[in-house]
Chains A and B, each alone.
Chain A
C-alpha cells in the first residue's frame, strides 16, 4: 500500500517587475494555496493586513465520490 506523500517545499512568490518583493513560505504544500476551503489559512500564510476578514459562504458538506 502506497502511503500518502507529505510534500514539504518552499514556495516563493515574486512579481516579474519587482524581484525584490518576494514572499517566501517554507514547509507547506503549494496545493494548500489553491484550496478555497482553506482561505483563512491562505490569508494567514500570506499575512493579510489587520481588518481583512474571510468567511466561508458555502461549507463543503460532502466529498464527491468516484
Chain B
C-alpha cells in the first residue's frame, strides 16, 4: 500500500539529466523524461525538493503514481512524523530503506572498482580472502550469543539454528587456501585479523548481547546478499582465471547455495512477521547500533584495500620472541622493522620493551603522541565498568583480589565523563569492545590495560608533558603488579600476539575513518535530524 504523508529521503539524490531528471539511490539511478516534470500543475517537482509529501500527489496522473510506488518499495520514502511505537511490519518497511541505503555505501566502495580490474593486486586478494574467512569465523559465535539474549523465543530459535548451521563454515568453506598463503611467505601458522575485522566481530557480539533488533538488522543485511550470487560467481571466476587456479572458490560457491537451501534469509526475514511493537526509542537505538556495525563492516573494506594497494599481506601469528616483517605487517607502530628479537622474558618487561621499540619506529612516535593526546582519555573513563566486568569473570583468589583492588581504586572514575567521548563514539566503542573481549581472562585484560597505559605514558614523554598535563593516567602502577602476578612468564609468544592485536586496534581507533568520522544517521521520520536528540547514551 502506498504510504500516505511520506517524503522523499535525503539519501535520494535528485539532479537534472540530459533530457529530464535523474534520481540516485542505493546502487541504482533512474532517469525520468521531461514528461514527468513539465506539467505546471503537478506537485512532483515540489516532492523532489522535499516540499510536498506523497499525500500531495494523490491526484497526479498514473505514471507519477507508479513512480511513487516504485520509490516506496525501494525504500526511498520517509514517513512525515515520528510514532511512539512501531509494529514490526512498520519496522520492516523502514528497514528496507536502511538496508538499501547501506548497500549503496557498501557497493560503491573503491575496492570493488579494483576488483573489476583485469589484474587485481595479489595483496588486495589476500586481504579480501582473509576478511571473508574472519567474517565467517565469528558468525556462529554472534548467532549463538543472540540465541541466548533475545527477549523473544522465535528470535532465539532462529539464531540457534543459524549458530548450528554457520559455526563450522570458516573451516569447511573459507579457510585461506595454501596456494595464496604458502609457507614460502611464512604462512606456516595461522593468520591474524585486521583491526577492522575484529572491531566488526566485537561490535556484532556486543549487539547480539544487548540489542536483538540491531543485531537482526545486520545479520539480515548480510544474508540478503545471497541474492547477489551471480555477481559473486562472476568475480570468483575472473579471479580464478587471473591466478590460473581452477576451483579456488568452489567452497565459496557452495556456501552461497548452502545459505539459500537452508533458507537463511527467509529464517531471519520471517522474524518481522511477529505481532510485536517496538518503542520509538528502542528502534532508534537499533538503527544507530546497526549503522555503527555496518560502518565497521565497510571499514573492513577500506583497511583491506588500503593495505592491499600498498602490497601489504595479512599478518601471520608470532610463534616466539623472534619476529619478522610478516608478523608486523600492517602495524604502523612497527613500520620499518624487518626483524626483531624480544629479549624480555616477563609480560611486564615485554610491555616496556614494546613501548621502547614503538617510540623508536618512524611512524610510532606520531601514533603514541596522538594516543596520549586523544585516545587514552577515552579509554580511561571506560576502565571502571570494564574492570568490574573482568572481576565478574575472575575465578581464582589471586585474580579476584588483584582485579578487585584495582576496581576499588578506580571506581571513583565512573563519575568522570569526558565530553569528548560524545564526539568520538566510534573510537570509544572500538576500545570498549576490544578491552571487554579481554575481560574473560584477567591476565590478558591486565596485560592489555598495562600496555595501553604505558603507550600513553610514552606518548606523554615524547610530548614533554609536565606533571600537570599528565591527565591520562590509566592506573599503570596498579596494573604492573597485577601483570606480574597473573601473566604466565612462559608464554611470551602469546603476549606478543596480544600486544600486536591491541596496538592494531589502537591504530584503527585513532585512524581518520574511525576517530574523525561520524556514522551516517538513518532518518526514521522527515526532518529527524533537525528534531531529534540521541536516543542512546551508551558508549
State A33–B69 Cα separation when bound (angstroms). Answer: 10
Assuming the A-B contacts A37-B227, A43-B30, A54-B29, are A60 and B58 also in contact, with contact meaning beta carbons closer than 8 angstroms in the complex?
no
Chain B residues positioned under 8 Å from A16 (CB to CB): 1-2, 4
A16 CB to nearest chain B CB (Å): 5
Kindly report which residue of chain B lies nearest to residue A51, judged by CB atoms: B33
B interface residues, how many (CB within 8 angstroms)? 66
Assuming the A-B contacts A3-B261, A52-B32, A60-B225, are A36 and B70 also in contact, with contact meaning beta carbons closer than 8 angstroms in the complex?
no
Assuming the A-B contacts A15-B58, A39-B28, A51-B33, are A62 and B263 also in contact, with contact meaning beta carbons closer than 8 angstroms in the complex?
no
Q: Are A65 and B30 in contact (CB under 8 A)?
A: no
State A51–B32 Cα separation when bound (angstroms). Answer: 7
Q: Mark B46-76, 1 if CB is under 8 A from A, else 0.
A: 0000000001001100110111011001110
Chain A residues positioned under 8 Å from B33 (CB to CB): 49-52
Contact of B135 among A14, A36, A65 (CB under 8 A): A65
Q: Are B227 and A36 in contact (CB under 8 A)?
A: no
Q: Which of A4, A12, A49, A62 has the most CB of B within 10 A?
A: A62
Q: Mark B87-122, 1 if CB is under 8 A from A, else 0.
A: 000000000100010011011100010011000000
> B31 at the A/B interface (Cβ < 8 Å)?
yes
Residues of B within 8 A of A (CB): 1-2, 4, 19-20, 24-33, 35, 55, 58-59, 62-63, 65-67, 69-70, 73-75, 96, 100, 103-104, 106-108, 112, 115-116, 132, 135-136, 139, 166, 174, 219, 221-223, 225-229, 231-232, 235, 255-256, 260-263, 266, 269, 297
Q: Are A36 and B66 in contact (CB under 8 A)?
A: no
Q: Are B225 and A23 in contact (CB under 8 A)?
A: no
> A8 at the A/B interface (Cβ < 8 Å)?
no
Assuming the A-B contacts A36-B104, A58-B27, are A13 and B69 also in contact, with contact meaning beta carbons closer than 8 angstroms in the complex?
yes
Contact of B30 among A52, A60, A64 (CB under 8 A): A52
Chain B residues positioned under 8 Å from A66 (CB to CB): 135-136, 139, 166, 219, 222-223
Q: Are A39 and B139 in contact (CB under 8 A)?
A: no
B460 CB to nearest chain A CB (Å): 41
A38 CB to nearest chain B CB (Å): 8
Closest 3 pairs between A and B when the two form their complex, measured CB to CB: A51-B33, A60-B228, A33-B73
Q: Are B74 and A39 in contact (CB under 8 A)?
A: yes
Kindly report which residue of chain B lies nearest to residue A21, judged by CB atoms: B65
Assuming the A-B contacts A15-B2, A49-B33, are A60 and B231 also in contact, with contact meaning beta carbons closer than 8 angstroms in the complex?
yes
